[in-house]
């Protein structure tokens, strides 16, 4: 069997003395693993790094086999990622999010989001907001999408500043005010709004608090898993940059 696709490298594991198992999030075949022979050579190691985009040929005798990859790099970002603590922790977090998806299950829209994030991992003004959007997209793909279209209590489409921690739906300021202490904040950038306003540190913190609540409740806890260390490390990096 054989197929060709494009993808983003999100992980590596040594295999034998000279090969590696490469984990790639692909456009048409989802998260997929394959062996790259000679992947630990001096020539191949710089190419097979998380954050790099690649063209892939996968071959195996049977569909359920791990199979072999032939990899051709199309965009190499690894050197710039290694020079940035934010980017390094960011690609780790992106990989942790994408590993929540079933292996070999295609998610083309999410693939586009992952590639966009990879292009901007080093941009401290943009990357954290994109990472929040990735977490929201993963929740959506797993069947736990949040609804910011209208107020859960009144049906209003304006003044949406809260999210109900019970339903995951937006709540207007007026309807949510009596329950302010129990509500999650809904930053404008999360709704895709903001009228061009800069995203503040408080907005980013609220965005990650929002996604973190539902990821922990609906995804990690039911699977008996802790929140990933990569997420804690990324948030720590954001906090460090905010203090600088």
> What is the mean pLDDT of the segment spanning 149-175?
96
For residues 189 and 195, what is the distance between their CA atoms, to the nearest angstrom? 9
Residue-by-residue DSSP string for 5-55: EEEEEEEEEEETTTEEEEEEEETTTEEEEEEETTTTSTTTTTTS-TT-EEE
Q: Are residues 34 and 21 in contact, defined by beta-carbon separation less than 8 angstroms?
A: yes
Residue-by-residue DSSP string for 197-209: PPPPHHHHHHHHH
Instruction: Answer yes or no: is 156 within a domain.
Output: no
Please report which confidence band the pLDDT of residue 192 belongs to, taking 50, 70 and 90 as the band edges. confident
Please name which of 140, 133, 121 lies closest in space to residue 234, comparing C-alpha atoms. Answer: 121
Instruction: Answer yes or no: is 161 within a domain.
Output: no
> What is the mean pLDDT of the segment spanning 129-154?
97
Say how many Å lie between the first and final Cα of the chain, rounded: 52
DSSP character at residue 170 = E
User: Domain range holding 49?
Assistant: 2-76
Question: Is the model's pLDDT at 193 over the cut of 60?
Answer: no
Question: Is the model's pLDDT at 234 over the cut of 60?
Answer: yes
- 91 and 212 co-located in one domain: yes
Structurally, how many domains does the chain consist of?
2
- 12 and 66 co-located in one domain: yes
Instruction: Answer yes or no: is 166 within a domain.
Output: no
Q: Are residues 186 and 169 in contact, defined by beta-carbon separation less than 8 angstroms?
A: no
- 118 and 69 co-located in one domain: no
- 66 and 94 co-located in one domain: no
pTM over the 0.85 mark:
yes
Angle at CA 145, nearest 5°, toward 139 and 147? 145
Please name which of 120, 159, 114, 162 lies closest in space to residue 138, comparing C-alpha atoms. Answer: 114
> What is the mean pLDDT of the segment spanning 115-137?
96
Instruction: Answer yes or no: is 154 within a domain.
Output: no
Instruction: Answer yes or no: is 172 within a domain.
Output: no
Question: Is the model's pLDDT at 244 over the cut of 90?
Answer: no
- 62 and 85 co-located in one domain: no
For residues 115 and 106, what is the distance between their CA atoms, to the nearest angstrom? 15
pLDDT score for 194: 52
- β pairing state of 160-163 and 184-185: antiparallel
Instruction: Answer yes or no: is 103 within a domain.
Output: yes
pLDDT score for 207: 98
Question: For residue 52, what is the domain's CATH number?
Answer: 2.40.50.140
- 7 and 96 co-located in one domain: no
Q: Are residues 28 and 7 in contact, defined by beta-carbon separation less than 8 angstroms?
A: no
- 219 and 128 co-located in one domain: yes
Digit-coded pLDDT (tens) for 100-122: 999 999 999 999 999 999 999 99
> What is the mean pLDDT of the segment spanning 162-170?
97
Domain boundary among 33, 56, 76: 76
3-state class of 142 per DSSP?
Answer: coil
Please report which confidence band the pLDDT of residue 75 belongs to, taking 50, 70 and 90 as the band edges. very high
Kindly report the backbone phi and psi dihedral angles of residue 184, in degrees, each rounded to the nearest multiple of 5, phi listed first.
Answer: -95, 140
- 26 and 96 co-located in one domain: no
């Amino acid at each position: 069997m054989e197929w060709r696709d494009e993808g983003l490298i999100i992980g590596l594991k040594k295999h034998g003395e000279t090969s590696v198992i490469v984990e790639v999030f692909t456009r048409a075949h989802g998260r997929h693993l394959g062996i790259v022979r000679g992947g630990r050579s001096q020539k191949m190691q710089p190419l097979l790094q998380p954050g790099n985009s690649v063209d892939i040929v996968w071959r195996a005798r049977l569909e359920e086999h791990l199979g072999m990859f032939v990899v051709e790099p199309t965009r190499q970002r690894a050197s710039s990622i290694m020079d940035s603590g934010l980017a390094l922790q960011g690609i780790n977090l992106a990989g942790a999010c994408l590993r929540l998806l079933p292996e070999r299950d295609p998610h083309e829209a999410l693939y586009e989001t992952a590639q966009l994030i990879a292009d901007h991992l080093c941009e401290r003004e943009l990357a954290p907001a994109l990472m929040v959007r990735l977490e929201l997209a993963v929740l959506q793909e797993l069947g736990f999408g949040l609804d910011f279209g209208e107020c859960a209590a009144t049906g209003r489409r304006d003044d949406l500043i809260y999210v109900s921690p019970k339903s995951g739906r937006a709540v207007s300021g007026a309807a949510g005010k009596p329950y302010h202490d129990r509500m999650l904040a809904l930053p404008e950038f999360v709704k895709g709004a903001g009228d061009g306003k800069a995203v503040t540190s408080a907005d980013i913190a609220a965005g990650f608090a929002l996604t973190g609540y539902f990821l922990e409740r609906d995804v990690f806890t039911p699977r008996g898993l802790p929140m990933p260390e990569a997420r804690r490390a990324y948030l720590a990096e954001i906090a460090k940059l905010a203090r600088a």
